[in-house]
């Protein structure tokens, strides 16, 4: 499913097209794609909130498949092995950020389904250093949403630095929040969820949220930390206002509309903090996959056939999908 011109997902910008099979170059692996989960970032790429780095482009960066071709010198995996491919696919390994375990901030990073073709396709390529072994406990469709939705939420949860038995407020309840609610509840935190959708309120409660509603004013108490998943800057002030002293709000999106003016006393004083979360490190991915296995995390997915990718993006944008849309190839 190829993107040539950025436009609203309602105009079905992706086109089913035959393109040449990619070849694994030195150090790379090719997978025959089985599943690719849809991410909100795909919507930002398709609609033009993010500038295109390549045109035409095959989006998709939560890819599960089996290795069917191995490039010269790639010895870490075997043909037939199942691997995952995520958003981050290259860093220089030498800059000041890479050297201090912040490879997610590398200025020379490259991304799957953005700088190179991704997983809305039958085949995808990945450098072996950026391929992930996947736990057997998950099937292809259910592990795919961990590879970005899960990961960004996982990093946002770390950056939210909750105290023990903390109170966590999640603003927006899509794919990431589904996953991270389970991790946070399992770690002993109390989770509060704000979401507009009645379905999501219901789902949040099912997953162990102590409270879920559509209005900040109903929040039963202040939170120690918050994660903002909704890509809306106007939600930043009420989220900060919902934090207790010393609280941290981490923003889990790659794109956020403008944040309105903040009032120092209402929104920041008492050492409240606002921070962004940028991509993830490979270590984050391994840690999430291990913890997801240990706590028997459940992802909720809705399956779409590859040619229905536009519909998957539309449904995600309109919050008309339960859990994460996953394309099955």
Chain residues that interact with Zn ion, rule: CB under 5 A: 39, 41, 91-92, 95, 98, 106, 148
Nearer to Zn ion, 39 or 126 (CB): 39
**C-beta of 186: minimal distance to Zn ion in Å?**
23
Longest dimension (CA), the chain: 59
Q: What is the DSSP letter of 57?
A: B
DSSP 242-279: TEEEEEEEEE--S--PPPPP--IIIIITTT-EEEE--S
Q: Could you give the C-alpha distances from 165 to 93, 100, 160, 224, 287, in angstroms and in order?
A: 36, 30, 13, 10, 20
**C-beta of 293: minimal distance to Zn ion in Å?**
21
Residue from 245, 243, 244, 237 nearest 263 by CA = 237
Q: What gap in Å lies between CA 280 and CA 154, rounded to an integer? A: 9
Nearer to Zn ion, 13 or 119 (CB): 119
Instruction: Name the β-bridge partners of 248.
Output: 225, 273
Element (DSSP H or E) covering residue 90 = strand 88-90
**C-beta of 118: minimal distance to Zn ion in Å?**
10
Nearer to Zn ion, 83 or 212 (CB): 83
Crossing angle (nearest 10°) for helices 175-186 and 198-206: 30
Nearer to Zn ion, 1 or 148 (CB): 148
**C-beta of 158: minimal distance to Zn ion in Å?**
17
Q: What is the DSSP letter of 11?
A: G
**C-beta of 39: minimal distance to Zn ion in Å?**
3
Q: Which two three-digit tokens encode residue 324?
A: 């994460």
Nearer to Zn ion, 103 or 224 (CB): 103
Check: CB of residue 58 under 8 Å from CB of residue 120: yes
**C-beta of 266: minimal distance to Zn ion in Å?**
32
Check: CB of residue 222 under 8 Å from CB of residue 240: no
Nearer to Zn ion, 13 or 149 (CB): 149
**C-beta of 62: minimal distance to Zn ion in Å?**
6
Nearer to Zn ion, 39 or 209 (CB): 39
Element (DSSP H or E) covering residue 177 = helix 175-186
Residue from 204, 201, 143, 154 nearest 176 by CA = 154
Nearer to Zn ion, 32 or 44 (CB): 44
**Residue 112: other Cβ atoms inside 10 A:** 28
**C-beta of 134: minimal distance to Zn ion in Å?**
17
């Amino acid at each position: 499913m190829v993107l040539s011109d950025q436009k609203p997902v309602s105009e079905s910008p992706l086109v089913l097209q035959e393109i040449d099979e990619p070849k694994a170059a030195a150090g790379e692996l090719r997978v025959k794609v089985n599943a690719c989960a849809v991410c909100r970032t795909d919507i930002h790429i398709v609609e033009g909130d993010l500038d295109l780095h390549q045109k035409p482009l095959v989006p998709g960066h939560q890819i599960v498949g089996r290795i069917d071709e191995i490039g010269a010198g790639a010895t870490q995996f075997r043909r037939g092995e199942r691997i995952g491919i995520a958003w981050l696919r290259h860093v220089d390994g030498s800059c000041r950020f890479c050297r201090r375990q912040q490879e997610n901030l590398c200025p020379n990073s490259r991304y799957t389904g953005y700088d190179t073709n991704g997983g809305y396709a039958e085949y995808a390529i990945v450098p072996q250093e950026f391929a992930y072994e996947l736990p057997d406990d998950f099937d292809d469709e259910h592990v795919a949403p961990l590879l970005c939705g899960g990961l960004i939420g996982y990093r946002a949860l770390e950056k939210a630095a909750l105290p023990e038995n903390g109170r966590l407020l999640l603003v927006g309840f899509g794919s990431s929040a589904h996953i991270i609610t389970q991790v946070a509840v399992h770690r002993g935190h109390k989770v509060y969820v704000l979401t507009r959708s009645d379905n999501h309120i219901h789902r949040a409660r099912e997953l162990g949220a102590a409270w879920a509603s559509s209005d900040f004013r109903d929040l039963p108490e202040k939170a120690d930390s918050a994660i903002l998943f909704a890509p809306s800057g106007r939600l930043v002030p009420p989220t900060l206002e919902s934090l207790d002293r010393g609280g941290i709000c981490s923003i889990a999106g790659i794109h956020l509309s403008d944040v309105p003016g903040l009032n120092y006393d209402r929104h920041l004083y008492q050492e409240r903090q606002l921070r962004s979360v940028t991509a993830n490190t490979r270590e984050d991915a391994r840690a999430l996959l291990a913890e997801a296995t240990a706590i028997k995390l459940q992802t909720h997915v809705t399956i779409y056939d590859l040619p229905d990718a536009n519909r998957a993006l539309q449904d995600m944008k309109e919050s008309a999908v339960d859990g994460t849309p996953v394309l099955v190839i």
